[in-house]
Amino acid sequence: MDEEEKEKWIRAGRIGKEVREYAASIVRPDMKMLDLAIKIEEKFYSLGAKLAFPPNLSINDLAAHYSPKFDDQLILRKGDTLKIDIGASIDGCLSDTATTVVVGEKSTPLVDASREALENVVKIIKPGMNIDIIGETIEKTIRDRGFSPIVNLGGHGLTKYNVHEGEFIPNVNQSSGKKLRSEGVVAVEPFATTGNGYVIDSTPGEIFMFQSKRSIRDKVARDILDYIESEYRTLPFSRRWIIDKFGKVANYALDVLVNSKALYRFPVLKEESGGIVSQFEHTFLFDKGEVIVTTA
C-alpha cells in the first residue's frame, strides 16, 4: 500500500471515529431516528468525507441494516439499546465502526460485554494471525459476562469501494484454521445478545447495493441505475438518498431494479429469539507488520 492511499484509509478511520462519537453524544429520548441519520450524514459531509454506507441505526432486538425511511416516524425511547454502525469513504478508502448507546441511560452489562470483547481483540490482533483466536477471544469475553455471541454475524475484510470483501471474522471459534490477511484492512465487530445468538432476516430494509449491469426497459429505472453505478459503485446506499435526487418516482424504479437483480436489497437482521443486541466495531489497517486501529 503506497503512502498516499494509506493516509486515505487512516483519514477515513479518524473521521469515522469522530462521527461515531458525535452521533453517540446527540442521542436523546424522543429523538426521531430519521433526524439522527440526517445529522450523522451531514457530519460526514462537513468533515470532507462521503459515507461508506447508510447509517445503520438498529434498536433492541434488531442487530443490523435498519436505516430510516425518507418519511420515518420511529422515535427513540428511553432505555432503547441503539447500535450506531457507520463508516467514511475517502476516494473509496473506507472505515467501518460501531458503538452501542442505551438511550437516556448509562451502559448495561450487555453493552459492556461487546465493548470489552472488542478491547480484548485490540490487544491481540496481528496481521496473518489465526482467525479462530479472535473468535475465541470474543466468545469467551461475552460468555464470561453471561451473554451469547451472535454466531452468524462478524467482522470482514475491506477493499476500495467494497465494505465486505475477503475473510469472515466470526464472534466464535469455528475451528476453521483460516488466517487474517497480512496486508490491508479488516473490521472486527463483536455482537453480544441476551438471546440465543442467531440472527434472521426480518423486514426488507432501506439499504441497497449495485449488483450487476442489466438491460432495463424502463427509462427512469435505467437512468437511476446509471447514477447509482457512477455515484456509489459497489458501496451500499439508502433509498432515501435516491428519493432526494430523483423524487418519489425512485420508489418504483428501485423495485424494478431489485426485481431485475441489478440491485441487492439488504434485509433488516433480527435476533431470532427476540434478545437485545449490542455491538462495537473498529477498523484495523495492516501495513508492513504494523497494526493501526484507524477508528480508535
Q: In what order do the strands lie in the sheet with 88-90?
A: 50-51, 88-90, 93-94
Q: For the chain, what's the residue count?
A: 296
Closest among 80, 87, 29 to 55, alpha carbons compared: 87
Phi and psi angles of residue 51, each rounded to the nearest 5 degrees, phi first: -95, 140
How far is Cα 263 from Cα 247, in angstroms, rounded to an integer? 19
3-state secondary structure of 94: strand
Find all residues with CB under 8 Å of 68, minimum gap 6, and list them.
33, 34, 36, 37, 57, 74, 206, 240
How far is Cα 199 from Cα 214, in angstroms, rounded to an integer? 31
How far is Cα 57 from Cα 84, in angstroms, rounded to an integer? 5
Question: 114-147 burial, b for 16+ CB within 10 Å, e for fewer?
Answer: bbbbbebbeeebebeeebbebbbbbbebbbeeeb
3-state secondary structure of 193: strand
Catalytic residues: 85, 96, 156, 164, 189, 281
Cβ pair 33, 69 in contact under 8 A: no
For residue 94, CA distances in Å to 50, 55, 125, 159, 163 come to: 9, 14, 19, 8, 7
